[in-house]
Structure 1
Amino acid sequence: MIKWFAAIAGYYLFRFPGAILGFLVGSFIDNLSKKGGGAQSVFSDMTRQSVSPADFELNLLSLCSIVIKADGQVSQREMDYVRQYFLSTYGKEKANAIFRTFNEVVKKREISAQRICAFLNQRTRYEVRLQLLHFLFGIAQADGSVSALEVEKIREIAGYLRVGARDFESIKAMFIKSANNAYKILDIQKSATDDEVKKAYRTMAKKYHPDRVNTQNEAIKQGAEEKFKEVQRAYEEIQAERGIG
C-alpha cells in the first residue's frame, strides 16, 4: 500500500503532479516488494555500474537532473524542490539514500533523456505523462523563473514522452505568463471566434477533467482539479474580456 501513502504525501506537497509521481513510484516499490527483489538493469546499463535504488525512482530523478542542468548550472532551489518531494514521500533515511545517487547523476553523469522516456512510455498513460511535464516545469520554476534553455529541454523531453506539441504549449502557458496567455492555455489564437473559444474550452475541460485520472484515490482526484481549474480560469478571463455569456 506504499503507493497510496506516497500519492497522498506527494499531493499535499506538490498537488497533482506530486500525487501522480508519488503513486507511480509507490506502485513500483510495491511491485518490487511482491517480487522479493530490486531492479537494476535499466539504470545500471545507463551508468555502467550497479546501483541500489529502484530503476523507476532513478529514471524520474534523472529527468529532474536533466532539467536542473539545462541552463548550465545546478540551482540549489531546484535541488531543494526535488529533495523536499522525496523527503515527504519516503522519509529521511530512504530519501537520503536516493539522493546520494541523484547527486552523482546531477554532477557527474550524462543521462539519455530519450532512453529514460522510452522506459516511462511503456509504463504510463498519456495523462500521466502530461503530469510529469507539469512536475518538470515546477522544478524549473523553483528558482523563480523558467529559462529559455529549460523550456527547450522540457520540450525535448515532451517529444520523447510522445506528448503533442499543442499539449506542451498549453502546459507551458500554465507556468510562463505571456501575452494572450489564456488563449494559449485553451490552445487557440486570439483571433478565434466566440464559438471557437467555447468549443476549445469544452475540449480542454474534457481532456483535463479529474475523471480522466481514472483512480479511486481521493487525493489524486483532488489534485487533478487544480489543473482543471487553470483551464476554467483561462476561459473565465476570456469571457470577461469579450463579454461572452
Structure 2
Amino acid sequence: MIRWIAAILGYIFFRIPGAIIGFLIGSYLDSSNRSGTNPLNRTSRVTPADFEVNLLSLASIVIKADGSISEQEMQFVQNYFVQAYGKERANATFRTFNEVIKTREVSASRICEYLRLRTRYESRLQIIHFLFSIAKADGLVSELEATKINEIAGYLHIGFKDFESIKAMFFTNPDSAYKILEIEKTATVAEIKSAYRTMAKKYHPDKLQHMDDLYRKGAEEKFRKVKEAYEQLQKELNFK
C-alpha cells in the first residue's frame, strides 16, 4: 500500500521520474513493515532498488560538479547499468537518470547518511571508486569533480588514507604507488611489504560477495591497482 501512495505523491511533484522513485522507496518501506524492520535502523541493509536510486543520484552530483554534463560520463553510467542489469531495465533506469540529472538537485549529505547506516565500509569504498571512474570517463578527473567526490567520501565516513589511495588510482604522478599502498615515500621495504599485504586484504573481491557482479569487478580492479603499485616499487627499489 505504501508503495502506491509514494508513487502517487512522487508523480504529483516530479511526474514520471518521481512516480518511479516513489514506488521504489515505498516498496522498501512496505517490505520493512512486513518484516518488522525499522528502515532507519543502523543494522538494516539497503535494498537493491534503493541502492540503485541513491547511486544514480550520487553519480548525477559528480557529473554536474564541473558545471557541464559530459556525454562520455553519461555513457559510462549507462554502460554500467546495461552490464549490471541488462539492456531493457538499464534503458528504463537511464531515462529516469536523465530526468534527475537535468532537472533536480539532490542532497549528497542525505543520500550518504542513508547509505552509511546501511552498507559495509568496503561497499562504500567501492562507491568512491565508481564515482572516480565516472569522472575519469572523459579522460580527466577535474579538480571540481575530485573535490565533490572528497565531500561525498566525508559524508560516507571514508578515512583520509583510504580516499587518497583510491584517488591515486586515477592520477599518474611519482607518488601514486605510495599513496595507493597508503605509505610514505620514506617507507622501508619491510613496511612496503606489510602495507601491500594489508591493502590486498582490504580490497580483495571476496569482501564484496554480497554485491552484484559489476561491483565485484570494480573490487578486482582496485585489487589489480594495488598489485601494480607494489610491483612498481619492487622494480624501482629492486626487492622481491
- What TM-score bracket applies, with the shorter chain setting the length? 0.7 to 0.9
Question: Which entry has the higher C-alpha Rg, 1 or 2?
Answer: 2
Cα gap change, 1:215 to 1:59, in 2 (>3 Å): closer
Identity %: 56
* Aligned counterparts of 1:97 and 1:173: Cα–Cα separation in 2: 34
Which of 47-56 and 94-103 deviates more?
Answer: 47-56
Cα gap change, 1:180 to 1:102, in 2 (>3 Å): same
- The equivalent residue for 2:93 is 98
Q: Secondary structure at the match of 1:51?
A: helix
What TM-score results when the alignment is normalised by the length of structure 1? 0.75
What TM-score results when the alignment is normalised by the length of structure 2? 0.76
Q: What's the offset of the Cα at 1:151?
A: 0.4
Q: Tell me the amino acid that sits aligned with residue 166 of structure 1.
A: K
* Aligned counterparts of 1:114 and 1:216: Cα–Cα separation in 2: 23
Q: What's the offset of the Cα at 1:146?
A: 0.6
Judge conservation of contact 1:83–1:95 (CA < 8 Å) in 2: yes
Q: After TM superposition, list the pairs within 5 Å mapping 1:84-233 onto structure 2.
A: 84-215=79-210, 224-233=219-228
Q: Secondary structure at the match of 2:184?
A: coil
* Aligned counterparts of 2:145 and 2:82: Cα–Cα separation in 1: 24
1:2-43 deviation per Cα after TM superposition (whole angstroms, max 9, x unaligned) = xxxxxxxxxxxxxxxxxxxxxxxxxxxxxxxxx9957958x9
- The equivalent residue for 2:58 is 63
Unaligned ranges ≥5, structure 2:
26-49
2:46 counterpart of 1:51: no
Unaligned ranges ≥5, structure 1:
1-34
Q: What's the offset of the Cα at 1:58?
A: 2.2
Judge conservation of contact 1:40–1:52 (CA < 8 Å) in 2: no
Q: Secondary structure at the match of 1:175?
A: coil
* Aligned counterparts of 2:138 and 2:117: Cα–Cα separation in 1: 32
Structure with more contact order per residue of length (Cα contacts < 8 Å, sep ≥ 6): 1
